[in-house]
A and B are shown apart, each in its own frame.
Chain A
């Protein structure tokens, strides 16, 4: 029982990081019908931006800030205009292919600069253990990761629902044509979602890299998990992506512990198939509705 509780908490912590990446997936889909198959690499790359900034002499925290800003610029603005822009109105498939190409380019570039070996990535959070209940000792770092993810997600939810720009983004997602007639600067809203996606990916990168170690191939698993989390939760709902991320984090840990580590990666995929069969709109998704 104590094991179960620890597994759930550890699962929620990694699930929180998955959720950050999954939200980005749904955001891009909602506003621009972009299925970003480079999302995993978007989570892998910012860690290397921070390492590069640290190599240039910056301390850890400013280096993280630089990584977030550079990510927003390159993985947000440049991605929007260079990769997505020219293909935006040519259907989903060309975009999918170009994001797959982008993922390969990002992976190989990182490999060229940083080799195929994993790199140490410092952690923001302390390696201390707190005892929640007798026998249930959890790491402060895990609680920290979960807290940072939830605060980021909470902030995003508030921004989308509580600010004028956020509501304009909602309108863009729901019906870009009508939004445009109502005076919403649709193009700018689309750009914002790309920037937000890059910011979320950078956050996920900062949180996951101390655990995974920074490595060029990290995006492979992360991209798949984020994609599955987004679909399981409901591709057209941010809260679906959150639920999907957390669920997969917990399920992954339980599967590793109670089923087998060899099959743990299959569990999210089985869940995906079940959701597609029995609840195609996702656990929290609604049919034919768009919202960010």
Chain B
């Protein structure tokens, strides 16, 4: 009898050992915009996250477990994103990465809140963290943080009295437009043109003519990557000679690449950039470029820090548990000396809002140049 038990146990041990290592990996779903208008942002986020996970796994994983990212394409569609998150939650993951588009985050944040699974997002629309979810965490500034900085720059740096605002008519763009309007009004800066454009819009001739006609001191452009590039090209073509000011995206690598010469002279606030005067970020940029053959923009950095957020929080909590990871991230400050992959010291408040240093920059000769570093809001 005893021999039989031993034999059984031995068999079980052999069977267990024969299981592929992958079966024991911790799967983290990454629901991203890999096609559609958000493909540029989603792909950068994906590449950044994949790089981080490779590094984490090579260094022994999180609490001894290897991480496996499972990428799902939302086609930049909030409905598909919602369905993908719903499906991913069935497997009770320790966290979900993405989406990047605010509209898709908005459509999914209630699901992750109900399932009590932390969702590490790329979305920047102001309302995302204002809906009471305890499970949403940003990888970049919300517009509620970035727009006051832009408005200060328009007042103090550009010394403008009038502004033309060009925004994209989606959750990201409308959130940014509403936030900047409020901030500009508070600083007595007049908005003389309020130009709404569509996501995926190809032809910006009419919009540029409208902006030219408004004759504002500066133009604030708040569009997604490809649309930003098309707008800049059209603006140059039509000789729009007012300063063009943007927030992170407009000065982003992909926009510079697509817009070419037309991006020169663009100025603004940059939440995250590989051109920041910080060696760790620049080193990340070089590694990314070597691996994927193109410079990453802020979405690449956002994707890269996301797995490190999970790692730091799980290690603080001492377990790979969704609820514990979320609880650990609230109020947590992750510093690069302890977690080098976080690149810049960052703090998350109890709504999931991120705080860290940011930058003012401009595009010169097809390159983003950082001109000033702005401190963290709360020390």
- Could you tell me which A residues sit within 8 Å of B by CB distance? 2-3, 6-7, 10-11, 13-14, 111, 115-118, 120, 127-129, 137-139, 141-142, 210-213, 215, 217-218, 221, 252-254, 256-257, 260-262, 264-265
Contact = CB atoms under 8 A, between A and B. Distances in A.
B203 A139 contact: no
Interface of B: 34-36, 39-40, 43, 169, 195-198, 200-203, 205-207, 209-210, 212-213, 226, 229-230, 233-234, 236-239, 254, 257-258, 260-262
B164 to A, nearest CB: 13
A262 B258 CA distance: 24
A264 B169 CA distance: 13
25 contacts: A2-B213, A6-B238, A7-B206, A14-B205, A115-B43, A117-B40, A117-B254, A118-B40, A118-B226, A120-B257, A129-B238, A137-B212, A139-B237, A141-B237, A210-B233, A211-B234, A213-B229, A213-B230, A217-B200, A252-B203, A252-B206, A254-B206, A257-B206, A261-B201, A262-B196
Contact of B202 (A128, A139, A218, A262): A218
A14 B213 CA distance: 20
Q: Is the interface of A mostly helix, strand, loop or mixed?
A: helix
Given A211-B230, A213-B226, A261 B203 contact: no
Contacts of B234: 211
Contacts of A120: 257-258, 260
B262 to A, nearest CB: 8
A213 B200 CA distance: 11
Nearest to B214: A3
A7 B210 CA distance: 9
Given A118-B258, A261-B196, A14 B203 contact: yes
Given A116-B39, A213-B258, A218-B202, A256 B207 contact: yes
Given A261-B198, A262-B196, A3 B209 contact: yes
B39 A117 contact: yes
Nearest to A5: B209
Nearest to A255: B206
Contacts of B210: 3, 257
Contacts of B209: 3, 6-7, 10, 253, 257
Contacts of A211: 202-203, 205, 230, 233-234
B206 A137 contact: no
Identify the 8 closest CB pairs spanning chains A and B, nearest first.
A129-B239, A256-B206, A10-B205, A116-B39, A116-B35, A212-B202, A253-B206, A139-B237
Contacts of A141: 237
Given A128-B239, A211-B233, A264-B198, 16 more contacts: A2-B213, A3-B213, A7-B205, A116-B39, A117-B40, A118-B226, A127-B262, A129-B237, A129-B238, A137-B239, A139-B238, A212-B203, A213-B202, A221-B202, A252-B206, A256-B206
Contacts of A129: 237-239
B196 A260 contact: yes
B238 A137 contact: yes
Contacts of A137: 212, 238-239
Contacts of B261: 127
A217 B226 CA distance: 13
Contacts of A254: 206
A210 B234 CA distance: 10
A142 B237 contact: yes
Contacts of A142: 205, 237
B281 to A, nearest CB: 23
A139 to B, nearest CB: 4
Contact of B169 (A10, A111, A127, A262): A262
Contacts of B202: 211-213, 218, 221
A138 B238 CA distance: 6
Contacts of A116: 34-36, 39, 43
A129 B241 CA distance: 11
A38 to B, nearest CB: 19
A101 B64 CA distance: 49
A74 to B, nearest CB: 24
A252 B35 CA distance: 27
A264 B207 CA distance: 12
B378 to A, nearest CB: 37
B229 A118 contact: yes
Nearest to A126: B237
B238 A262 contact: no
Contact of B206 (A10, A111, A127, A212): A10
Contacts of A128: 239
B196 A111 contact: no
Contact of B207 (A111, A261, A262, A265): A261
Contacts of B43: 115-117
A217 B202 CA distance: 11
Given A2-B213, A211-B203, A260-B196, A115 B237 contact: no
Contacts of A210: 233
B230 A139 contact: no
B295 to A, nearest CB: 14
Contacts of A212: 202-203, 230
B303 to A, nearest CB: 15
A57 B201 CA distance: 31
Contacts of A115: 39, 43
